[in-house]
Amino acid sequence: MKQTFPHTPGPIGVFDSGYGGLTILDEIRRVLPQYDYLYLGDNARTPYGTRSFEVVYDFTRQAVVKLFEMGCHLVILACNTASAKALRSIQQKDLPLLDPARRVLGIIRPTAECIGGVTTSRHVGVLATVGTINSQSYPLEIHKLFPDIVVSGVPCPMWVPLVESNEATGEGADYFVRKYIDQLLATDEQIDTAILGCTHYPLLLPKIRRYMPPAIRLVAQGEYVANSLLDYLRRHPEMETHCTRGGSCTFYTTEAEEKFTESASLFLHQPIKVQHISLE
Ligand code: DGL
């Protein structure tokens, strides 16, 4: 059923299953500080990484509709799992019915686009959630652009819980960081580039660097996503004029506000104010 959303220009919506999208938002705001942003974290239902296609699609669709209702014309799914499992259905099935002029963009395609210029051996590894690896989204997107690249993926189910429980720099994290890196190296010894295909993983970078051979280049997504958005807005002036320019950022969470504020400080090193919102 066709819904009516506000027509006036509004903020750019940034959605994640929880806190991880804050690492993407941070880079986007660094490259495009002039726009207004509305960040929505579905912390009450995180993690998405272990959930089925149907559930991730359903949750993500609810969030996109909410962001449209709140005035966003453009929404970034700053979550690999949501980009892998929900983006295509939302773009193809829902947008034509909801409002064909609004746009939802993911973060896997911009990462795939950069890979061809980074790898020399043409062997690339992907470290991501179980959901993202099982979806095969990285090999599919990379092969559309660079069919010659060999892509190997390893799921890292313990990395998000380590970050969320503030153990990313603790001694206990070493075991699981090393375990998944060793699995990746054992899969293909010609890998020269490793994609950190989950928004939480930049917080594990010091440990990942410790166990990843120095010859392997690490690709964190934030910078690529931000530059891709810059390029998108340049190529789509009709969308750019629908994005307000006040330099503000408003945060919403489906969990308790105090909990979000406390944990968000691990991801953004500045105090923020957050408001509770319900998606159901
Ligand atoms: N933000 C998610 C991603 O990038 C990870 C967290 C989750 O599993 O919900 O895949």
Residues 217, 113, single domain; the answer is: yes
CA-wise closest residue to 247 among 12, 6, 7: 12
| Ligand 1, atom 8: closest residue by C-alpha | 49
| 79 tagged catalytic | yes
Q: Interior CA angle at 169 toward 163 and 172, to 5°?
A: 85
Residues with CB under 6 A from ligand 1: 16-18, 20, 46-49, 79-81, 129, 132, 160, 198-200
pLDDT for residue 266: 83
Does 6 map to a domain?
no
The two most distant CA atoms of the chain are separated, in Å, by 53
CA-wise closest residue to 78 among 113, 124, 43, 41: 41
Nearest ligand 1 atom to the CA of 16 is 1
pLDDT for residue 123: 98
Examine the fold and report which residue of 205, 221, 237 is the final residue of a domain before the chain moves on. Answer: 221
Residues 146, 17, single domain; the answer is: no
Residues 119, 94, single domain; the answer is: no
Residues 97, 113, single domain; the answer is: no
Residues 118, 210, single domain; the answer is: yes
Interval 183-208 mean pLDDT: 97
Does 5 map to a domain?
no
Q: What is the DSSP letter of 170?
A: S
Residues 258, 128, single domain; the answer is: no
Show the domain range for 31.
12-107+223-276
Q: How many domains does the chain have?
A: 2
Q: Which helix (H) or strand (E) holds 141?
A: helix 137-145
Interval 196-203 mean pLDDT: 95
CA-wise closest residue to 127 among 191, 190, 172: 191
Does 159 map to a domain?
yes
Residues 163, 85, single domain; the answer is: no
Q: What's the 142 CA to ligand 1 centre distance in angstroms? A: 20
Residues 126, 202, single domain; the answer is: yes
Backbone angles phi, psi at 53, to 5 degrees: -55, -50
Residues 162, 176, single domain; the answer is: yes
Residues 90, 153, single domain; the answer is: no
Does 2 map to a domain?
no
pLDDT tens readout for residues 30-55: 999 999 999 999 999 999 999 999 99
Mean pLDDT, the chain, integer: 95
Nearest ligand 1 atom to the CA of 84 is 10
| 198 tagged catalytic | yes
Marked catalytic residue, from 72, 114, 198, 249? 198
Residues 179, 231, single domain; the answer is: no
